[in-house]
Chains A and B, each alone.
Chain A
């Protein structure tokens, strides 16, 4: 097992280098320039100086090399420095955003907490709701529960989040005044009152996202369960005189979880990547909002870094999913 993990990690290195090349050059070659964000009132010579100070005018290979060095060497050093109070980085130039001139990793660090709290909660909630619904829907196929579940899942999956989000804001904020429409990222939870405010401001975005995610996961669970319920081993288990509970929850569920685990595991990187639309709607200003904002203003370092971090997470969680298969299904062996 350890061998397998090591081997996979080693294979991941060339994969990630390839991905980094593709991301960097694709983003770089895309039309547009950070200069478009400089007001037209700034004269051309000043504009040129600003661009020069950003380092935009260097050849693309030099910028790629610098980016890799900053990503894998300089920034981790700053990370260690921040954690242990050392000074390993010694003021080496950091990876800096074009538009705000703030170090990209600091920017991501500011954005990550709200993304993880809101999008993470929504995801956990979605999984917790979706799996039981999927199981019961499959077990009682075509019952009224299944019909309603299918209907809600269809709505959740097909109605876009910018619509559900706006609808919730109009009903619960503008008309009822129950929840805020703007997420306060500076709120720190210290007592019951602030905890209540935090829950209130999380409610609407979490509902919006959980509905969407739960719809997908419950459908996967349901179809996978259906497939397994019809298998011969289920009949055998029942013939042995096992209780329905054991048959469904131990035998069928465990076998049905393999595709579901893939879907859930590969969904986790998107939690870190933020939910672009939902974050915009509720002004959560997390990673997703940072990414879309950076794309709009051609802030290449931010776009490239967030895209690459997401790629790393996807590679990692792919591995996690593969390991989980082995745990769920003893027939799968990696040695």
Chain B
């Protein structure tokens, strides 16, 4: 759906060049900013320069990756040329997180000045249905209807207030129980409270699924503290236990994913065996892992030579105990999951040591800390990740051999599992060259399966949806998990 463009450019309508190196956007004629001045292609070009400035620290810089130049032949035409064929060119200027800035407003905010442009950063001029009247950091945003909105009949509301602070339960309560607010997003509350709040009858809980998957990652390298610093969890030492696929598979088989969903997420989650659960064309139909198979898992471990020879309840092989350190970030749902999974693995004959780390450290990426998820100083770890937009290519490309974190790259790689398979690398390279969507879907499914059901390096648990709360008096709400939840606020109205 094109918002500011006349239509979405495709190869068929000539908007994308045959060799996939160029995309041409045509702006709708007569489009104006909220201050009444015209939106031009120069604004788009400026936005590109703004976000790719080396000193700006722009968080969306990845969206402009691979762009060779942006030309503006006339005021309504934006031509983006890529350095190489780009099968998915809908990155720059697409979606709520890649807006076009008004060049006139941000002209003095390039580079290092970006962070000191307070007025601009907190009251940007845009083309949306509302304009910012007041912005109090981490507290409240006051919005007013945009008098210059492109559809004069919209929006239906004269003002909108966005309130921050508090927690998910309080936000849900304000919509579902007290009715003080009309809409709340990210209301991740436990299934019991979901039922209780829905019973109050003031609102409904909406859920939709995106690409966020809670998963257990297997460490393919040895995290043993006996190894020297700089050798631990590096490719120099393969994992003594988890290198065996049978052990990885058995650990996955012992998990009852539906039980985890019921305990932690309720309607906001569903059991998943896929790393890429959506969009449909990229998602594998694989459901092998859904049913728990404790006996099968035990048999598999026996087959792999892990038996309980000394009768202490923990399996061993060649004098090595089957013991796992299982880490994750501190979060009530994750600790529940840890305890339950530990019980299943204990039943399997695996000794499990649980560890939880404050999220600011775990995800902090500090090369000096032993507790980051990248360093992975444990056997298995659990967290959630997703990908931006609808194209899983960059996400799947994280598992390339050369993206393994290690001391030589300050532990900054994205291949957390230290998975390395030349066949996988070759397939990722092929994906980058493929432009046919059906073919891309097939390759993505294959890649996903190589990581999950073929190798059990990544053990997906729960496809985590979004849970939002909407008042019964608010009409027109459509939950869209691919963009900001306010994506269609122009269509919202009051139900009488």
Indicate if B388 sits at the interface (CB-CB under 8 A). Answer: yes
Q: Name the A residues within 8 Å of B115 (CB-CB).
A: 53-54, 96, 101
A107, closest chain B residue (CB): B137
- Check A186 for interface membership: any CB of B closer than 8 A: yes
State the CA gap A41–B389 with chains docked (Å).
10
With the chains together, A173 CA to B181 CA distance in Å? 13
**Nearest-CB distance from B473 to chain A (Å)?**
16
A11 within 8 A of B: no
- Asked whether B165 lies within 8 Å of A285 as measured between CB atoms, the reply is yes
Residues of A within 8 A of B59 (CB): 38, 42, 46, 50
| B 356-367 to A, binary, CB cutoff 8 A, 1 in contact else 0 | 001111111110
| CB-CB under 8 A for A33 and B170, given A48-B412, A100-B138 | no
Indicate if the CB atoms of B137 and A41 lie closer than 8 Å: no
Give Cα A180–Cα B180 distance, bound, in whole angstroms: 8
Of the residues B122, B180, B412, contact of A182 by C-beta under 8 Å? B180
Residues of the A chain whose Cβ atoms lie less than 8 Å from the Cβ of B387: 41
Query: Is B114 in the interface zone, CB < 8 Å from A?
Result: yes
Q: Which of B114, B181, B371 contacts A31 (CB 8 A)?
A: B371
A285 and B361 contact, CB distance less than 8 A: no
**How close is B404's CB to chain A, nearest CB, in angstroms?**
12
Q: How far is the CB of A107 from chain B (nearest CB, A)?
A: 5
Bound CA–CA A107/B138 (angstroms):
9
Which chain B positions have C-beta within 8 A of A267?
A: none
Residues of B near A293 (CB, < 8 A) are 138, 165
What chain A residues lie within 8 Å of B369 (beta carbons)?
A: 31, 33
CB-based contact B180/A181 at 8 Å: yes
Does A199 touch B at the CB level, under 8 Å? no
Which B residues lie within 8 Å of A79 (CB)?
none
Contact across chains for B140 and A41 when beta carbons are under 8 A apart: no
CA distance A97 to B394 in the complex (A): 31
Q: When the two chains form their complex, are residues A33 and B114 in contact, meaning their CB atoms are under 8 A apart?
A: no
CB contact between A44 and one of B54, B112, B364, B413 (< 8 Å): that residue? B413
Say which residue of A94, A285, A298 sits within 8 Å of B364 (CB atoms). A298
Looking at B170, B181, B200, which has the most chain A CB atoms within 10 Å of its CB? B170
Q: B386 contacts which of A41, A96, A281, A298 (Cβ < 8 Å)?
A: A41
Q: Does A155 belong to the interface (CB within 8 Å)? A: no
CB of A296 within 8 A of chain B? yes
Verify A280–B394 contact, CB threshold 8 A. no
- A35 and B364 contacting across the interface, CB-CB below 8 Å: yes
Selected from B138, B363, B385, the residue in CB contact (under 8 A) with A285 is B138
B414 contact set on A, CB distance < 8 A: 43-44
For the complex, what is the distance from the CA of A138 to the CA of B385, rounded to whole Å?
61
The 8 A CB mask of B336-369 against A (1 = contact, 0 = none) is: 0000000000000000000000111111111001
Q: How many residues of B contact A (CB 8 A)?
A: 56
Q: Give the interface residue-count category, chain A.
A: 35 or more
Cα of A35 to Cα of B369 in the assembled complex, Å: 13
User: How far apart are A271's CB and chain B's nearest CB, in angstroms?
Assistant: 19
Which DSSP category, helix, strand, loop or mixed, fits chain B's interface? loop
Q: Which residues of A contact B56 (CB under 8 A)?
A: 49, 53
Question: From B362, which residue of chain A is reached at the shortest CB distance?
Answer: A36
The answer for the CA separation of A170 and B361 in the assembled complex, in Å, is 35
- Chain B residue with Cβ nearest A52: B57
Tell yes or no: B206 within 8 A of A by CB. no
A186 near B118 with CB under 8 A, answer no
Chain A residues positioned under 8 Å from B136 (CB to CB): 110, 185-186, 285
Q: Which of chain A's residues have a CB closer than 8 A to the CB of B138?
A: 100, 285, 289-290, 293
Residue pair A297, B360 in contact (C-beta under 8 Å): yes
Find residues 111-125 in chain B having any chain A CB closer than 8 Å to their own CB: 112, 114-116, 118, 121-122
Interface string of B127-142 (1 = CB under 8 A from A): 0000000101111101
How many Å from the CB of A40 to the closest CB on chain B?
Answer: 5
Contact present for A36 and B360 (CB under 8 Å): yes
* Contact of A32 with B by CB under 8 A: yes
- Interface readout for B371-401 with A: 1 if CB under 8 Å, 0 if not? 1000000000000011110000011000000
Report if B484 contacts A (CB, 8 A).
no
A96 and B174 contact, CB distance less than 8 A:
no
Question: Separation in Å of the A45 CB from the closest CB of chain B?
Answer: 8
- Contact between chains at B361 and A41 (CB < 8 Å): no
Complexed CA–CA distance, A52 and B115 (Å): 12
A293 nearest in chain B by CB position: B138
Is A36 within 8 A of B364, CB to CB? yes
Asked whether any CB of chain A lies closer than 8 Å to the CB of B88, the reply is no
List 22 A–B pairs whose Cβ atoms lie within 8 Å, in order of A's numbering: A31-B360, A31-B366, A31-B371, A32-B364, A33-B369, A35-B363, A41-B386, A41-B395, A43-B394, A44-B413, A49-B54, A50-B59, A96-B115, A111-B139, A181-B178, A182-B170, A182-B174, A184-B140, A186-B161, A283-B163, A285-B139, A293-B138
Q: Which chain A residues have a beta carbon within 8 Å of chain B's beta carbons?
A: 31-44, 46-54, 91, 93-94, 96-97, 100-103, 106-107, 110-111, 169, 173-174, 177, 180-182, 184-186, 280-281, 283-285, 289-290, 293, 296-298
Known: A31-B361, A281-B170, A296-B360. 6 other contacts (CB 8 A): A36-B359, A36-B363, A36-B364, A44-B412, A181-B173, A186-B140
Q: 7 closest A-B pairs (Cβ-Cβ)? A: A53-B57, A33-B364, A32-B360, A36-B363, A285-B139, A36-B364, A41-B388
